[in-house]
Amino acid sequence: MKRKLIAAVGVAGMVIGLAACGGSDSKGGDTADKASGAKELTVWLTVDAQNNWPELVKAADDAIVAKHPGLTVKHEYYGWPDKNAKLDAVLATDKAPDVVEMGNSEMIGYMSTGAFSEVDPSKFDNSAAWLDALKQSVTYDGKTYGVPYYAGGRVGTWRKDLAAEVGVTAAPKSWAELTSALDKIQAAKGDKFSALYQPSPDWYGAMSFVYDNGGAIAKKDGGSWKGSLSSPESVKGLQQYKELLDKYMHADKTKDEADRPVVFGQGNSAAIFAAAWEGSTAADPKSDKVGGLKDKLENFVMPGPNGKNLPVFLGGSDLAVPSKSKAKDIAAEWINAFTGAQGQKGLIAKGNLPNNKTDLGPLKADPKTQVPATAAESSWFVPTAPGWGQVEKGKVLQTMLQDIGTGKKSVEDAAKAADAEIDKVINTK
């Protein structure tokens, strides 16, 4: 699952000593690797690291080579669309890499089939404070199979100029304030305008309402998982989502969220609930058809209908050690040098949310990063079930939400149908 930077929130201006990134005390054990004479470490990362923070990769390399003279660290970089096919092919051989980057929701299928080695969380900096959703993403059956790398959350972004036109001068802090402002904007702009552009199939947004009400996509029942979208709690969240669509989303309800920044940049909406980078993308001169959109946008923590901040899906990446690695302990050391206390400073400076609550604290106190950091505190994650990948591949949630958004099915019927589809595959490895 592709993850993008949140540099738009303004942390890119922070100055961090890059040399410090290699100074973290690596907590991974190295006795076994020394005994086996490991002389090479192969690290697979996505092009995000290659293009945006190569100096942080080098700092981690330098730190590990300093501890293991003569060690050679090799890197391969891949794009998100084809990386899993390449990984699957190499895992079937004896040429497995020692460290591999995964989108956090991709971890489940590999953990459940034994493709990744178990790691000891105590050997990694700030592991006790890992963000809840990221911790879930590396945990399977109570064991840890990876290390959170960085995160990216979701925020509300709106046109403060349009809000001001209807007498609203401050970003909403409650559901009542949000809906009141959207009501006024919708009334002023007419029914061809979307006060909130929320594509129906956007399950990341929709499931926030489900989890806000205590519902879930699926829950473990004994030794197996069962779809739970038709539970009373989940249905309540889906009803709230439908009400939002009915009142404020007046564009094509069959389209997904892929072009949301484009639509927002064209001036066809007053607000979005989306990944933090999407507002910045909309305001890019290539997308901005409004004119001066950058200065007209304001981010806010999305309030929920139940009096709390709406829990958000935390996107991001994890790092794992394949079971076939021949340098597991040194691989763990490299991961900690890259993602540990000092490494996180460098990643934050590049516009990412950190992997832990300790580093999130200062960001909440900084006006430039307060919104995404605060939003990330309340999060949810997909079911860590062996067949989750098949649920995603089958677009079960998107189909349900499109049926709800277009009125093809009632919320209850769509949720029951989705549960039936989920139950067919969710326990399949």
Q: Does the pLDDT of residue 30 top 80, yes or no?
A: no
pLDDT on residue 351: 87
Over residues 265-274, the pLDDT tens digits come to 999 999 999 9
DSSP 356: B
- Strand intervals (E) in 116-202: 139-140, 143-144, 147-152, 154-159, 194-196
- Per cent of the chain over pLDDT 70 is 91
CA distances from 221 to 63, 211, 224, 228 (A): 45, 18, 5, 10
- Compute CA distances 103 → 83, 84, 241, whole Å: 10, 10, 26
Segments in 11-82 forming alpha helices (H): 31-36, 47-52, 54-67
**What pLDDT does 26 receive?**
38
Q: Tell me the pLDDT band of 365, cut-offs 50, 70 and 90.
A: very high
Between CA 71 and CA 85 the distance in angstroms is 28
Residue 143, C-beta contacts closer than 8 angstroms, at least 6 positions apart: 118
319 DSSP assignment: E
Count of alpha carbons within 13 angstroms of residue 366, beta-carbon side: 17
Question: In one letter, which amino acid is 388?
Answer: W
CA dihedral 406, 410, 411, 412 (to 10 degrees): -160
Residue 395 has pLDDT above 60, yes or no: yes
Considering only CA atoms, which of 325, 340, 343, 336 is closest in space to residue 40?
325
Q: What letter does residue 238 receive in the DSSP assignment?
A: H
Question: What's the rounded Cα separation, in Å, for the pair 89 and 409?
Answer: 41
Q: Is the pLDDT of residue 179 over 90?
A: yes
Could you please report the per-residue DSSP string of 388-415? Answer: HHHHHHTTHHHHHHHHHHHTSS-HHHHH
Cα distance between residue 378 and residue 279, in whole Å: 21
Residue 99 and residue 337 in contact, taking contact as beta carbons nearer than 8 Å? no
This prediction's pTM = 0.88
CA distance 205 to 260: 13
CA 297 to chain centre: 22
Angle at 130 between CA 127 and CA 133, to 5 degrees: 140
Other C-beta atoms closer than 10 Å to the C-beta of 75 total: 17
| pLDDT at residue 412 greater than cutoff 70 | yes
- How far is 417 from 130, CA to CA, in rounded Å? 35
Residue type, 27: K
With H, G, I as helix, E, B as strand and everything else as coil, classify residue 123. helix
Retrieve residue 40's tokens.
């090479």
Residue range 340-354, pLDDT digits in tens? 999 999 999 998 999
Q: Average pLDDT for residues 43-61, to the nearest whole number?
A: 96
Does the pLDDT of residue 298 top 50, yes or no?
A: yes
